[in-house]
Chain A
Amino acid sequence: MIRYELIKRISEQFAVEETEAVVFVDGIFESMVTAFKKGKKINIPEFGKFNVTNKIVDGVRLRYVVFSPARNFAEAINKDFSDLEPLVVNAYNLKKNERLKVSEVLQDGNEDDYLYFAFDTEETVNVEEEKISEEILQITPIVEEEKSSEDILPVIPEAAQETTIPLSETAASPESETVQSLLTEAEPIIPEEQIEEIQKEQSIFEEEKEENIKQTVFAEHIANVILLENPKAYPLVPEKPKDEIDISSINPEEQIAENEKIIDIVEHISPLNVRVKLKDDMNIDNIGEEIFDILVKREEIIRELNAFHKRTTSLQDEPKNIIEEAPKVEDIITPEETIESYPKPEEIKPEKIEEKESDLFAELERRIKELDELSQKKEEIKSVEKNAPMSQEMQIFGKLIDETPVRDKVSDMPMSFPEIIIHDPEPKKENAEPKSLSEALQNINSGDVIEHMKDDDDGVKSYDDIFRKSDKQFAPQFSVEPENKNTQGRFFKIFLYVFFIFLLTAFSFYIYKTMFTKSTGSQVIDTIGYNKIDSVRQLLKKTDDSIARKDTVNMTDETEQTESAEIKNINGVVYRELGRKIYIQNKVLDDLNEASDLELKLKASNLNCLVEGGTKIDNGLEYRVLVGPFKNIEEAMEYYEKHKVVLNFIQIINSNKPNLLVF
């Protein structure tokens, strides 16, 4: 179709000018192309979908437009073959009882080069199943479960099976012998064990079949009872015509006449539509039995119905009517017929009962006699035991037994008596065990150990008198040897322990002193090794005293501390007040040797002086060389004025450092 024709049809259909139609159609396609450029999908209802995808054409990746028609449109195109459906021809990996059905699926927006299928395993494909079953049968013989026991005989090979068909026809032929030999020689494919199992299953199956037949009979009876009450509610069971009765096999006329009689009786007796299939060997007696059975079953059914209707409340009235209106056995059958039809039970004759009673009495008498004999024997044994000579010990035991209080026989009676076992008397042995205590005592040769009581002795003796002690006592004697105590070793050990403890305490004290106490000047000097110098010792004593004094002052009164540590700087000269005495501070040195040298020089120039130890701000030691003492500061100032030159000279010579004030 040319585009022009489309435009012309539009203009004719809608009475529009062709130019406007051209613009409209161009506008439609132009808008579609712009949408494809943007990658958008276009869905035109009842026509199809346009989708933009990427496709490789000649090694170049391109944007490609794919069209998938709408379902109705596609079906309209494929209307010639729409009834046909894909079929599974062969399935190689199909499981047992699995069925396949294939249907082609339309995939929107996908490429058209591919086919898509959906497998449905629920629905059936009969052709496929039959093919597979045939294949399986060809490969392996299968024994069906529902076959009868006759069909489960061992499978015969094909060659033998072919020959079995003419076997019945040509039974007398000479070939039949060869066929039979083949059949006998043919080994059964199924082993005998499996055959036995199959036969068992078949027997169970037959039992189930019988039960099912019984249930069907039961259901028929129920249906008959219901039909009796409401014949309109349910369609009547069609009466079996007389032609259906199996009388074909009964050829004689007499039997036919009997059967007719039976049918008349049945129709007369049972108004129910009970279908009775007469057997070949059926007589009047037999039919009576069967009718009685049926009626008995009918009564049972009525009882069950009664019980059922009692449970249900909605159908209370109807079942009662059914039961009331149901004919009873007595109405249908006269008692004479039942008596005639059924043989009476055998009556027990009185002679037999008498014989039985006489036998029982004879047995009882025999038992009683046996009991009497046993009791007589027991009494004899007791009398023999009483007359037998008893030893002294046995007499004592007998007295003790007689003196024991008699208990209530009823309370002491055990509930269940143990079984009495009588052993055969064994022959006596020479070295047999003694039966009584006297025999045991006689056998003991214990003349050295036990001394029997003498008849001459009067009164009762003590235990020690009767059983004297033997000379040899076998009691164990324990003798413990005195230990050789090693006292020296013990003392040595104690000494070692004490020494070790002393060392530990000394070491701990040393650690305490060195680590946790403040070091004084003397201790430092001791560690240095300058304690040999006497002057230094004196100085150290003084310094220690001064420090101790300071400490005491610090502890007692703060005001005194301020007084003792009072320092005055007058015209560059430091005056220290120690112990209410004033000293002129000549110099402060860090080294003790220098301080002692300066002290010696001052003393050499007839100046009283001393070295005072002190602490710096940074906890370091310093040594102050002081000249004095003086009573008051004025006296000290006068002394300084007099010996000013000497003091300064000595100070300048010995000092590298200026005279510093240290607090």
Chain B
Amino acid sequence: MNKVNFKSSFNRELSENIFNFVFDEIKRIILKDRKFDIIELGEFEVVHRKMQTVTDVKKQAEILLPPKDKLFFKPSKELINRLKD
């Protein structure tokens, strides 16, 4: 926050509010559109997992898993390339 505040001309309170607003907007968009993409970071996507049976080897038990919506994040190529450097 300090870095961002230093770069911008906003005061700290305003910058905090804007920061929270940014991520609240991202959350809202993900819940609404189930997908959000930023070039600098990557892609957030909600994936639906179907109902399935899983075997646990240790307990020797078959487990029936219910369907589930889960959020996945895939970093962009730009981010991966920048991390390489």
Asked if A24 and B63 make an inter-chain contact with CB atoms under 8 angstroms apart, the answer reads: no
Residue among A31, A77, A81 making CB contact with B67, cutoff 8 Å: A81
Chain B nearest CB, measured from A445 CB (Å): 105
**Alpha-carbon distance A484/B57, docked complex (angstroms):** 105
Instruction: Considering the complex, give the chain A residue whose CB is closest to the CB of B33.
Output: A1
Asked if A64 and B59 make an inter-chain contact with CB atoms under 8 angstroms apart, the answer reads: no
- Contacts of B40 on A, CB cut-off 8 Å? 26, 29-30, 32-33
**Alpha-carbon distance A112/B31, docked complex (angstroms):** 19
Instruction: Considering the complex, give the chain B residue whose CB is closest to the CB of A115.
Output: B54
Q: Which of A1-43 contact B (CB under 8 A)?
A: 1, 3, 6, 9-10, 13-14, 16, 20-21, 23-33, 36-37
Known contacts A32-B41, A64-B80; A77/B69 CB under 8 A: yes
Residue among A26, A33, A78, A94 making CB contact with B68, cutoff 8 Å: A78
Asked if B60 and A16 make an inter-chain contact with CB atoms under 8 angstroms apart, the answer reads: no
Known contacts A28-B4, A31-B4; A84/B22 CB under 8 A: no
User: For the complex, is A607 an interface residue (Cβ under 8 Å from B)?
Assistant: no
Known contacts A23-B8, A24-B15, A77-B30; A3/B39 CB under 8 A: yes
Asked if A92 and B38 make an inter-chain contact with CB atoms under 8 angstroms apart, the answer reads: no
Q: Which of A64-87 contact B (CB under 8 A)?
A: 64-67, 69, 73-74, 76-78, 80-81, 84-87
Known contacts A14-B18, A30-B40; A69/B71 CB under 8 A: yes
Number of interface residues of B (CB under 8 A): 55
Chain A nearest CB, measured from B49 CB (Å): 9
**Alpha-carbon distance A392/B10, docked complex (angstroms):** 153
User: For the complex, is A47 an interface residue (Cβ under 8 Å from B)?
Assistant: yes
- Contacts of B17 on A, CB cut-off 8 Å? 14
Known contacts A14-B18, A33-B40; A86/B63 CB under 8 A: yes
Instruction: Considering the complex, give the chain A residue whose CB is closest to the CB of B52.
Output: A115
Chain A nearest CB, measured from B45 CB (Å): 11
User: For the complex, is A374 an interface residue (Cβ under 8 Å from B)?
Assistant: no
**Alpha-carbon distance A86/B69, docked complex (angstroms):** 14
**Alpha-carbon distance A538/B35, docked complex (angstroms):** 137
Give the interface SS of chain B, mostly helix, strand, loop or mixed.
mixed
Chain B nearest CB, measured from A107 CB (Å): 12
Asked if A67 and B10 make an inter-chain contact with CB atoms under 8 angstroms apart, the answer reads: no
**Alpha-carbon distance A44/B61, docked complex (angstroms):** 37
Known contacts A31-B4, A65-B75, A67-B44; A10/B68 CB under 8 A: no
**Alpha-carbon distance A187/B19, docked complex (angstroms):** 84
Residue among A28, A69, A117 making CB contact with B22, cutoff 8 Å: A28
Known contacts A14-B17, A91-B59; A62/B84 CB under 8 A: yes
User: For the complex, is A376 an interface residue (Cβ under 8 Å from B)?
Assistant: no
Asked if B82 and A33 make an inter-chain contact with CB atoms under 8 angstroms apart, the answer reads: yes
User: For the complex, is A643 an interface residue (Cβ under 8 Å from B)?
Assistant: no
Asked if B61 and A88 make an inter-chain contact with CB atoms under 8 angstroms apart, the answer reads: yes
Chain B nearest CB, measured from A119 CB (Å): 6
**Alpha-carbon distance A10/B23, docked complex (angstroms):** 11
- Contacts of A29 on B, CB cut-off 8 Å? 38, 40-41
For A95-120 the 0/1 string (1 means CB < 8 A from B) is 00000101010000000100101010
Known contacts A63-B84, A84-B66, A119-B59; A24/B10 CB under 8 A: yes
- Contacts of B79 on A, CB cut-off 8 Å? 33, 36, 65
Asked if A80 and B69 make an inter-chain contact with CB atoms under 8 angstroms apart, the answer reads: yes
- Contacts of B19 on A, CB cut-off 8 Å? 28
Asked if A92 and B46 make an inter-chain contact with CB atoms under 8 angstroms apart, the answer reads: no
Asked if B66 and A85 make an inter-chain contact with CB atoms under 8 angstroms apart, the answer reads: yes
Using C-beta atoms within 8 Å of the partner chain, give the interface range for chain A: 35 or more
Chain B nearest CB, measured from A127 CB (Å): 11
Chain A nearest CB, measured from B47 CB (Å): 9
**Alpha-carbon distance A31/B54, docked complex (angstroms):** 41
Asked if A27 and B4 make an inter-chain contact with CB atoms under 8 angstroms apart, the answer reads: yes
Residue among A21, A47, A64, A102 making CB contact with B63, cutoff 8 Å: A102
Asked if A66 and B73 make an inter-chain contact with CB atoms under 8 angstroms apart, the answer reads: yes
- Contacts of A119 on B, CB cut-off 8 Å? 56, 59
- Contacts of B54 on A, CB cut-off 8 Å? 115, 117
Known contacts A13-B21, A65-B79, A84-B66; A100/B59 CB under 8 A: yes
Known contacts A3-B38, A13-B21; A87/B64 CB under 8 A: yes
**Alpha-carbon distance A570/B52, docked complex (angstroms):** 134
- Contacts of B30 on A, CB cut-off 8 Å? 77
Asked if A73 and B61 make an inter-chain contact with CB atoms under 8 angstroms apart, the answer reads: no
**Alpha-carbon distance A1/B31, docked complex (angstroms):** 12
- Contacts of A21 on B, CB cut-off 8 Å? 18
User: For the complex, is A90 an interface residue (Cβ under 8 Å from B)?
Assistant: yes
Instruction: Considering the complex, give the chain B residue whose CB is closest to the CB of A6.
Output: B25
**Alpha-carbon distance A286/B67, docked complex (angstroms):** 72
**Alpha-carbon distance A3/B39, docked complex (angstroms):** 9
Chain B nearest CB, measured from A336 CB (Å): 77
Instruction: Considering the complex, give the chain B residue whose CB is closest to the CB of A98.
Output: B59
Known contacts A14-B17, A32-B41; A92/B61 CB under 8 A: yes
Residue among B23, B31, B82 making CB contact with A77, cutoff 8 Å: B31
Instruction: Considering the complex, give the chain A residue whose CB is closest to the CB of B32.
Output: A1
Known contacts A20-B8, A77-B30; A104/B65 CB under 8 A: yes
Instruction: Considering the complex, give the chain A residue whose CB is closest to the CB of B28.
Output: A1
Instruction: Considering the complex, give the chain A residue whose CB is closest to the CB of B80.
Output: A62
User: For the complex, is A410 an interface residue (Cβ under 8 Å from B)?
Assistant: no
Instruction: Considering the complex, give the chain B residue whose CB is closest to the CB of A88.
Output: B61
**Alpha-carbon distance A3/B38, docked complex (angstroms):** 7
Instruction: Considering the complex, give the chain B residue whose CB is closest to the CB of A74.
Output: B71
**Alpha-carbon distance A87/B67, docked complex (angstroms):** 12
Known contacts A10-B21, A77-B30; A24/B4 CB under 8 A: yes
- Contacts of A462 on B, CB cut-off 8 Å? none
Q: Which of A507-561 contact B (CB under 8 A)?
A: none
Chain A nearest CB, measured from B31 CB (Å): 6
**Alpha-carbon distance A117/B17, docked complex (angstroms):** 38
Chain A nearest CB, measured from B28 CB (Å): 10
- Contacts of B73 on A, CB cut-off 8 Å? 65-67
What are 21 residue pairs bridging A and B, where the CB atoms are less than 8 Å apart in the complex?
A1-B36, A6-B22, A20-B9, A24-B7, A24-B8, A24-B10, A28-B4, A33-B79, A46-B27, A47-B27, A64-B80, A66-B73, A81-B68, A89-B62, A90-B61, A90-B62, A91-B59, A100-B61, A102-B61, A104-B68, A112-B70
List the 7 closest pairs (A to B, CB-CB), nearest first.
Answer: A84-B66, A67-B73, A93-B60, A29-B40, A27-B7, A27-B4, A91-B61
| Other A-B pairs beyond A89-B62, A91-B60, 13, CB < 8 Å | A6-B25, A14-B18, A16-B18, A24-B15, A37-B82, A37-B83, A47-B23, A62-B83, A76-B27, A77-B31, A77-B69, A78-B70, A90-B62
